[in-house]
Structure 1
Amino acid sequence: MLPRGVKFAHAAVFLFAALLAFLSLRALDEGVTIGASYGILVEDFGGGAASSARVIEEVESLADELGVNVAYEDRDLLQGPGSRRRLYLAIGDPDDPSGSWLKRGYPEFSRSLTTEVHPMRELRGLDPRGTYLVFGPQDSARELLATFERLGYRGTLFSQPSLLDPNAYFGQKGELESLLIMIVAVVMTVGASVVLNAKTYGVLRLQGRSFAQILGRDMALIAAFWVRAAALVAALVAAALLAYNGLSRPAYFGLFFAVFLAALALPALVAHALALAITYRTRITDAIKGETSGTLAMLGTCSVRVVASLLTLAVAISTFTAAREVAAQQASREAFAKIGDASVPVLTSDPADREVEKRYDRKIGAWIHDAESRGEVIIATRADVESMTPPGKPTPKRDVLIVNDEYLAEQTVLDTSGERLAGLREPGVKAQILLPESLSESEKDRLASSVTGWLKSEADLYKAELNDREIETLSTKPGQRVFTYGSFLPTGGTDELADAMLSDPVIVVVPKDSDILDGGYPTYATQGGVIFKDPRYIKRAMSTGVGEFLIGAEPVARRAATDYWTTVREFRITLFNTTAALAVLLISAASAALIYRRKNAQSLFVKYINGWPFAKAHLSLLILEAALALALLGWVSWQTISRLLTERELAAQYRAEGIPPPPTEAVPLAQWQPAVMLAVVVAGFLTTILVLALSQSTMIRRQAIEG
């Protein structure tokens, strides 16, 4: 008979492979259109570009000529849970699985995304730019790209994730962490079960069985167990998928399941063979008593302990980070819900050609300025106070938000008397600096000086006039949380994105009739700081001269909802991973105690009857545990301190050159890694002590009976 732990491990392998297959296939289905081989992103066009009707006609004709299917994917609607995706399909190969989608619909695996399929001719008259998917070879995709270029458009060819791409299976960070944790758990469970079953293997050796015969016996028993487990899991999975999505894409699910089953089962079988080799090195007489060759067993257990500890550290930090982001985003969801369809423009990336870049800045800047003067635009862009501070001067630590008067009309900002601020109060004033009343006078002076200097330099840069008398400084009521509309810092720091509410920031008000910041509008737009109250204004602009740099409109609230649900999903996965990793850690600690007890059963019994205290009797294991804990804690502390010192030196170099330093916290909550590792090693150490204490009485009774 197989040890119970081995049976349990292989049952877990089947169930977890099914779970990972479900999660990965669902993520793939929500992220891409499954079945497409290549894609072409058509972003802009030059002079004399063909009309939309002609473009669609050419695409349909080429699809028919090449015998491939081509689909236009409406990416604006591909925005997270509960959303919709539209495919506009030209059929040139009706025998391809995608050829039936117009009649039967897209075979969705995920229930979180609804995909509508329409004939491509319905795109005629609409903007033809966007993503085109090719269900065929690369040569066909290149032909389609050449067709777009001939029609006056520019595009980029890219590959779609295929079932031969490892990223399709292991590209999701949370699922990959789950897989690694499960591999460690399976290896630990199988290895410990085989080692602790030394008595059974000792009897088989006494009967004359060789190592190969014993291993073959176990593999045959595992194969028989697999047949039963496969039938049961197949029935359970089929029933679950039938209820979830009508048993959609069973072949894809089977392939994903087979890949994850192999990834989990192979380490389990290797661990079984290695653990059996360890027990085979034990003398037969010792093995029959249940004792094992302790050196190799303890070495393997300690190796697993190290891996389990590092995995637990990594996923625990991820969980803390995700929990912080969920809490922060939850606090700002009400503000996002109130802004309705307010959208940010999705722009093409900055052109590499200098002349095109100048045209890009001029057209986008003028378009935003015109829309702002019409009351269509809210400016709410984050600024880096370090970039406002002259080199060599102390850098104030405070969030800065640049807004226009439309922002103040939409969002509530109170002065010290509790009255709502509505814009500039004095005639002739062109800008306003709002400072929290809670700041000290020296801090206010430093911040006002930094912001004033920055405003004047921006005005000079864009050939506008601004002097000190035209800048008004006021105080705001302390304790206010101000909405950013989800804009982010130009340095790209990610921590700020988790919370769209700033506590007592410095607010710089530049009214819509001012030309101080006109040249910076294209940059602000790429930071999510230019918000159009009506997205139709953006869509109408796509048919004008500025349309060559516009991809579309992205609703701010929908983007925030997508980020929120993505973060919630990551938090749930990391929380599960942390629980699983902690379980693996505790199992490995318990296994170390049990293997140590089996290895030293006789000597521990002698020590007990001679009255040795617990700590002295188990001194060797306690020293090993302490050394392991100190090594892990020391290594993590050294890594953390080295990283912080390096970041500090780099920041000092940037400041010395008058450049704002980049974001320093590349790994969120990384400074807490030593504290988390301390908790991890303490948990493992206490588990070892507890298992030793609980098993000591059992060992003593057994030795008394056998003795």
Structure 2
Amino acid sequence: MPHRGIRFVHAAVLVFSVVLSFLLLRQLDEGEMLGNSALVQVVDTDDSTTGSQVIRAVELLSAEMQVGVAREISDLKDPDRVRHLYVAAGDSESRTATWLANGYPAFSSRYETRIHPISDLGQRDPRGQYYVFGPAEAGNALMAKFSDLGLTATISHPLSYEELAGKYSDDPLFWALCVVALAAVTTTGASVLLSAKAYGVLRLQGVSLIGVVLRDLRQLRFFWLMSLGILATASLFFLGLYNGFAWFGLLVIVTAVIATLLTLVVLATHLAVIGMIFKLEILPSLKGELPSRTATIGVYLVRIPALLLALAVAANVTLASRDVATRQENQDAYSSLGDAVSIRLSGAFAMHLDELNGRVGPWLREADRRGEIVVVGRRDLQLSVSNVHLPAGEILIVNDTYLAEQEVFDLKGRRYTSEGATNKAPDSRTVRVIVPESLSSHTSSISKAADEIINPSGKNQKIPFEAHISKTGQHLFGYNSGALTYSSSFSPDQDRSLVRDPVLVVVPNGSHFLTNDGYTSFASQEAVVFNDPDDVSKALKSEGLHPYITAISPVGQKNALEYRNVSYKLRVQTFNLAVAAIVLLVAGVGVCLIYARKNAQSIFVRHISGWCYASNHRFILAVETSIAFVFATRVPFEAWQQRQELKELASAGTPAPFEPTHITALDAAMIAGLVAFEFGVVLLALAFFHRRIVRGKVSEV
């Protein structure tokens, strides 16, 4: 019977494959339409055809090719949790026809898809996303049809291997697959090595290498079937409760692919390690000896990548932990917003920005004049003021309403107030540039940069600026996480809802200092917030803005969803770190086992000759100490190299092209803990095997 560690690996592979498939399909269902073969994106139109003509053409193509075509549109009031699918079924027996009759079989219970016939679109602008459900050539046919109708379209295949690989190459789920594969290799190798004596007996009986492997597989057959049956029953029960068996066939296929991939890795390792054991003579093999040089090289070939992977996963865990903690601290700021919403502009006008700016910009200006919105645009400080070597920071372009809602204090502790209630016309007032005391020596350069930000074309009249100084150490609310704006010191995934010591550029409510495209640009970054959602709903009807605004997004709800997503990523990365630690544990014990079995007699002789413990094991201790030192200093050394590179760029007046690596106390503790764990495992395992050897149990090592 194969070692119980091998049985454990095969069972763990099956369980992990099901869990990973479930998480992957849930994530895909919340971002894409499952089952599609192509996505056709209509990006422009020459206005030669109406929306109803496009709908009719889609229906005819769908019926002719017997394929489903569906246009996706976000829900106006809940875009992060609800989407609408307007379907042309094509065939009464097709999957999409079933959706029209029974609704979409959502895999994820956290996202709702509402199905409508495509004729319900009416005269809606044809620009948008069209999913194709059918043969791959149907996507090209649909794009050709759109071209005949005067529409410009692009095609992609969201569920193809190429696009999924690019999308998930740095996803926590991919990291989980890599870590588990490495754990499977390590545990399988260790389990086979621990059975070296049993394999020696089989060799003595004349069993060949392939015969030994086939014997192990035959003995695993019943265990595999039993594990598969238990897992299938549990999965069916859970999936039935979770989503009513939606996309069960797809889940089985994805699970089978992942399980097959991992099983092949396990079997290849099994065969390779047994082949290594067969290189020994039969007599040493019966004693449990191992081909130490080959085995040691093999273990280190697994152990070094495992250490690198563990360090990378640990860095992701600390980053995710900080992000979760930061978002948790910011919850109070978002809860104070109540029903406040931001707007999402249609991407259909990406090639007609003048039209978008001309319709949406003036409306936002009037809403600003009435005090209905809070403007909180962002710009990177270093990038905006590139002629001066400034520290990392941000510039917030805000309106008077922002100062009415958020507290900003001057050097004497007095609050800067809104001037929106004054009788002065907005265009007759000044733009206030409020600079933190720590940057006060650069006020003139910052004011010049502020002019370029709000008047980039220079077409406006000379804008009057008035400089002020604020107290250092203030954290100001940015009304969003900052994910849609560039920062030289933060990644897009990091929460920047509270900004420390930003420069404020306060533009009078409704003034023409901020251009139409300035308003729409900030709106596209979710930086224009309406305190009352009804103000947007009324304007959609009265101003005819439906073609330009696709959704009204509750600010607090969006933040809660982002918090849920980063918490999920932290849980997955924590799992990855735990598995990586198990890999380090098994690999460390494996190194000591191979070393002890090879050198048991010499260790015993040196011990009875009076050698001290450190001298007896000086070689392996020196190797392991060197490895621990390299990995303990690797991240700090890379951070130091990066800082030197950034200093050279800064001295040349070049903005930072990447965010610097910041090693926090949590990072240092995580690295130190990981290295201590790795080194401690080796020391404990070595001490255990040393003790057995000196007690005269050389043959039992």
1:307 Cα deviation after fit? 1.1
Q: Paired residue for 1:26?
A: 26
TM, length-normalised to structure 1? 0.87
- Give the distance between the partners of 1:331 and 1:169, measured in 2 at CA: 30
Paired residue secondary structure (1:298): helix
Paired residue secondary structure (1:485): coil
- Give the distance between the partners of 1:661 and 1:477, measured in 2 at CA: 24
Q: Paired residue for 1:271?
A: 269
- Give the distance between the partners of 2:245 and 2:643, measured in 1 at CA: 51
Q: Paired residue for 1:576?
A: 575
Q: Paired residue for 1:623?
A: 622
The within-5 A match list for 1:47-66 is: 47=47, 49-50=49-50, 52-66=51-65
Deviations 1:595-621 (A, max 9, x none): 211222222222233332211111121
Paired residue secondary structure (2:41): strand
- Give the distance between the partners of 2:619 and 2:593, measured in 1 at CA: 14
Paired residues of 2:44 and 2:349 also in contact (CA < 8 A): no
The within-5 A match list for 1:205-284 is: 205-284=203-282
Moved more, 451-460 or 500-509: 451-460
Deviations 1:137-194 (A, max 9, x none): 3443344344445555443332231589764996671111111111111111111111
Q: 1:321 to 1:477 in 2, by over 3 A?
A: closer
Q: Paired residue for 2:373?
A: 377
Q: Are residue 692 (structure 1) and residue 686 (structure 2) matched?
A: yes
The one-letter code matched in structure 2 to 1:592 is: V
1:544 Cα deviation after fit? 6.8
1:647 Cα deviation after fit? 3.8
Q: 1:556 to 1:144 in 2, by over 3 A?
A: farther
Q: 1:309 to 1:456 in 2, by over 3 A?
A: closer
Q: 1:620 to 1:398 in 2, by over 3 A?
A: closer
The one-letter code matched in structure 1 to 2:382 is: E
Paired residues of 1:336 and 1:560 also in contact (CA < 8 A): yes
- Give the distance between the partners of 1:387 and 1:606, measured in 2 at CA: 68
- Give the distance between the partners of 1:141 and 1:508, measured in 2 at CA: 48
- Give the distance between the partners of 1:330 and 1:204, measured in 2 at CA: 60
- Give the distance between the partners of 2:626 and 2:602, measured in 1 at CA: 23
Q: Are residue 444 (structure 1) and residue 444 (structure 2) matched?
A: no
Match of 1:506 among 503, 506, 518: 503
Moved more, 365-374 or 255-264: 365-374
1:463 Cα deviation after fit? 3.4
The one-letter code matched in structure 2 to 1:582 is: A
Paired residues of 1:384 and 1:489 also in contact (CA < 8 A): no
- Give the distance between the partners of 1:63 and 1:329, measured in 2 at CA: 46
Q: Are residue 368 (structure 1) and residue 364 (structure 2) matched?
A: yes
- Give the distance between the partners of 1:409 and 1:236, measured in 2 at CA: 56
Q: Paired residue for 2:697?
A: 703
Paired residue secondary structure (2:697): helix
Q: Paired residue for 2:110?
A: 112
Deviations 1:100-133 (A, max 9, x none): 1122222222222222222223332555543222
Q: Paired residue for 1:611?
A: 610
Q: Are residue 516 (structure 1) and residue 510 (structure 2) matched?
A: no
1:199 Cα deviation after fit? 1.2
Q: Paired residue for 1:13?
A: 13
1:467 Cα deviation after fit? 6.4
Paired residues of 1:149 and 1:155 also in contact (CA < 8 A): yes
Q: Are residue 194 (structure 1) and residue 182 (structure 2) matched?
A: no
- Give the distance between the partners of 2:312 and 2:679, measured in 1 at CA: 19
Q: Paired residue for 2:297?
A: 299
Q: Paired residue for 1:683?
A: 677
- Give the distance between the partners of 1:490 and 1:652, measured in 2 at CA: 25
The one-letter code matched in structure 2 to 1:503 is: R
Paired residues of 1:605 and 1:703 also in contact (CA < 8 A): no
- Give the distance between the partners of 1:706 and 1:433, measured in 2 at CA: 78
1:53 Cα deviation after fit? 4.1
- Give the distance between the partners of 1:561 and 1:633, measured in 2 at CA: 37
The one-letter code matched in structure 1 to 2:400 is: D
Structure 1 gaps, min length 5: none
Q: 1:272 to 1:618 in 2, by over 3 A?
A: same
Deviations 1:229-280 (A, max 9, x none): 2222222222222332233322111111111111211111111111112222
Deviations 1:171-223 (A, max 9, x none): 67111111111111111111111112211112222223232322222232233
Moved more, 306-315 or 205-214: 205-214
The one-letter code matched in structure 2 to 1:386 is: Q
Deviations 1:269-297 (A, max 9, x none): 11111111222222322222222121111
The one-letter code matched in structure 2 to 1:269 is: L
Paired residues of 1:80 and 1:113 also in contact (CA < 8 A): no
- Give the distance between the partners of 2:432 and 2:356, measured in 1 at CA: 29
Q: 1:270 to 1:77 in 2, by over 3 A?
A: farther
The within-5 A match list for 1:389-428 is: 389=385, 391=387, 393-395=388-390, 397-414=392-409, 416-417=412-413, 419=415, 421-423=417-419
Paired residues of 2:450 and 2:505 also in contact (CA < 8 A): no
- Give the distance between the partners of 1:661 and 1:705, measured in 2 at CA: 61
- Give the distance between the partners of 2:211 and 2:542, measured in 1 at CA: 76
Q: Paired residue for 2:333?
A: 335
Q: 1:178 to 1:456 in 2, by over 3 A?
A: closer
- Give the distance between the partners of 1:128 and 1:614, measured in 2 at CA: 78
- Give the distance between the partners of 1:480 and 1:500, measured in 2 at CA: 9
Q: Paired residue for 2:478?
A: 483
1:311 Cα deviation after fit? 0.8
The one-letter code matched in structure 2 to 1:273 is: L
Deviations 1:452-511 (A, max 9, x none): 22344555844334466x525254595453334344675355447513012333322111
1:69 Cα deviation after fit? 1.8
Q: Paired residue for 1:464?
A: 460
- Give the distance between the partners of 2:101 and 2:475, measured in 1 at CA: 55
1:572 Cα deviation after fit? 1.0
Paired residues of 2:75 and 2:84 also in contact (CA < 8 A): no
Paired residue secondary structure (2:245): coil
Q: Paired residue for 1:589?
A: 588
Q: 1:184 to 1:199 in 2, by over 3 A?
A: same
TM, length-normalised to structure 2? 0.88
Paired residues of 2:400 and 2:419 also in contact (CA < 8 A): yes
Q: Are residue 662 (structure 1) and residue 660 (structure 2) matched?
A: no
1:401 Cα deviation after fit? 1.3
- Give the distance between the partners of 2:177 and 2:168, measured in 1 at CA: 9
Q: Paired residue for 1:179?
A: 177
Q: 1:181 to 1:460 in 2, by over 3 A?
A: closer
Q: Paired residue for 2:38?
A: 38
The one-letter code matched in structure 2 to 1:15 is: V
The within-5 A match list for 1:626-645 is: 626-632=625-631, 639-645=638-644
Moved more, 683-692 or 548-557: 548-557
- Give the distance between the partners of 2:542 and 2:154, measured in 1 at CA: 22
Q: Tell me how large the CA RMSD over aligned residues is.
A: 3.5
The one-letter code matched in structure 2 to 1:381 is: G
